[in-house]
Structure 1
Amino acid sequence: MAGTLTFLLISSLLQDALCGTFNISMPQNINVLRGSCVTIPCSFDVESRFEDNLDDTCKAYWSDSPLFSSRNAKLKPTKEMTGDLKKKDCTTTFNNADFLQSTKYYFRLECNNALKYIFSQAGVDISFIDVPPSPTLTPSTLEVKEGTSVSLTCSAPAPCWSHPPALTWSPNLGQSQETLQENQDKTKVKTSVMNFTASHLHHGNKISCTAVYQKQDGSPDVTAETSLTPDISSGTWGIKMPQNINVMSGTCVTIPCFFDVASNHKINLDDTCKAYWSDSLPFNSGNAKLKPTKDMTGDLTKKDCTTTFNNASLLQRSKYYFRLECDNALKYTFTQAGVDISFIGEGGSLS
């Protein structure tokens, strides 16, 4: 018990000591998009005897040297550019980042009284970039079962608080909500959360988030994008394809096709897998009517069995079924559904 009381007493004394000294808190570094504005989050404390000196006469100054005064400061922000100094808020926004250089900046507080101090304990490194970083998607990969409620979060840095990036989803699969959130170091990020229900229609189709940054110097906006390709499964054997396709005689035809496998066979989807089609059941790779090559078939490892026949004369007017065979335990004919092929003559009549 005595040890606990001693620890609490020491912790309290340390807190009091820290709160009664000159210190400052700001990010170690900030990436600034060239041509845009930038906000430097900043808070400070002063010795207890100077508390009463924090008044309306106090002004903020910044420079790339830890030794400077109000006269030779590189940057002299106006009141509307600076936080409330009376509340120890030195957050500063530079609407024209061209005033800055790629260097470390220090903050100085000057009031029309005894309070004049350079906070040389810490500075912020400014780095200019021409291209913004790609947004961050959370989660970075999406593997869920069909019917699952999904929440995707897109986050992009917002170095300029007054002009944060605009975030857009493509495709827009559901409701989304944007917020401006604060990091631990007081910098901010723009986030957009999109909620939707996973469907087989989303499987293999890219979902992207784009951040658009508006510049303040009149130059064109810049964008950054990130994306993921969802893996939507049912956990059981299944296939999706059109019920029928009309084919123009003498042309090519593409059969859009997506499948799913039982969960225990997902690991067997590899580069050895091949596609086969036939109009009779049962069949295997040996007696299949059609044996498409790799360049004719979608990415089977991503459950895409879309197949293009450059010569439709290889087909007949019949119903075709798909079979998947890999050099492992995965060999399966999807009899749940087939596609009816009908031929159309040049005049548009069925043949």
Structure 2
Amino acid sequence: MEVWAKKIPWGFVLLLAGALGQSVKYPDPICAVKGSTVTIPCSFTPRKEFEQQGRRVLLRIVRVVWCQNHTICHGSTPSVYDSNSTRNNPRYRYLGDLRGNCTLQIMNIQLTDSKSHHFRMEADNSRGHFVGLPGVNVTVIDGFPMRISSSSSETVVRAGGGVTLNCAAICSFHQLDVTWYRNGHALSDTGPALQLNPLTAADSGNYSCALKINEKTRSNLYSLYVEGDGGALGQSVKYPDPICAVKGSTVTIPCSFTPRKEFEQQGRRVLLRIVRVVWCQNHTICHGSTPSVYDSNSTRNNPRYRYLGDLRGNCTLQIMDIKLRDSKSHHFRMEADNSKGHFAGLPGVNVTVIDGTPMRISSSSSETVVRAGGRVTLNCTAICSFHQLNVTWYRNGHALSDTGPALQLNPLTAADSGNYSCALKINEKTRSDLYSLYVEGDGATATHDLLLIVGVGVVLAVLAVLTLILVFIIIKRKQAAADKQQRDGVTVQKPSDTIYSTVLKPGGLEGAERGQATGPAVEEVSYATVQFKHKHLPAATVPAGSGQHQEEEAVVYSSVARLQ
């Protein structure tokens, strides 16, 4: 309920504002190198007018604001640029205006600028205020390695074919030149795509790339092996996919190999037997004086590296307490009792060790503003993929219960709007940059809900009024009945009661009372007097000497008795 209270009203305001024509157009996410200058192209459309008391009132933009990691940008929210302020940070320059251009330039960009940036416009009337969502994410890198991807899913390719290697960063950018390396030597190519066509054996090797202006961004090695007529002798080594590990953990590199079984010498068949196995780093041949991390013929192997394989077909290697310096390409070599059985398997397996290197969030949707009721999957990934570690997801800085690398949001509601990030559970330093998601409500649904609420309110109000009227009528009727009984002086008995009545002359009243009192079944006796006024009796009917006027009232006494 707390989330609803915070999100729905603002979302409603934004939807209302958007319906009035306001909008802000942001670029795609921006990736920049620390110390460089970045320009964020931006355009906006303000509200032109509104009606007040039947007349049209024009609006004029009087203030523009850029802020970081805040979706509203109002009040006391810290800003990086405010057109009404004289104390703006000189690193931030507003290249726009108050009419439709909101371009912002950040000079000498710092790691602290890796945030979501939002633009706000304010008019000379609050009805023209508006904040554009979802904003634009800016990522600043300083030593974060580039990544190499290939147009081929295979790292062992045939001579004569073609392969394109691509050098990319955490997010895409196009304005910077790249330096390519093969086996540590710089190549002449400077573009983000390295074309190798047609392939020859000379193209085999370990490739890497880095931004020209920042050597710290050198990528991990990508091994490529161009196969001519090799492999016809049957040797092979099967490596796993690239491995990503957290500093200090234990990593197992599953591996299997197939040795050469025999060869012919002077017309006879000679069997081969594997007598030595070697694991080395960043070397494609692993022979002679090449430093190794494990050598079956050595007694001075580093205890952090354990060989879990054998000499027949299992070449699994385990690395304990893995270090950052283990972020290298690892290769396996087998040697037989004859040099014709020696073989080093290419391309090897790349191991990446992270310690504070941020994770990255990608979405199943290309849009960061999505409709309510739909679905979106956010994926938390590292420089290379791994599956054995749990992830912590955050929304607006608060941890969520989901721990998998994929966060499913289905169905989407306004409560899902916010800034998302993720990190490895065992290493908070890997917290990703923010990913802003805004769930846009359904106007028809909102109208339907509003009408439903109003309808229920009207029904309840009518019921309340009818109840009050009914209670008032009942009370008035009871009061009227009580007043009538009080005026009549008669207690009304139940119809089932037996009523005895006697009408006597005044002279016989006492005898009647005695006669009634002696009845054993009488419990309650009530007397009432009923007066009859004889206005037109003849004078002869009045007894002589009675001393009473001819219009004297006659009195009748009645007794009412209840029997049990």
Normalising by structure 2, what TM-score?
Answer: 0.33
Report the structure number with the largest CA radius of gyration.
2
TM-score for the superposition, normalised by structure 1: 0.48
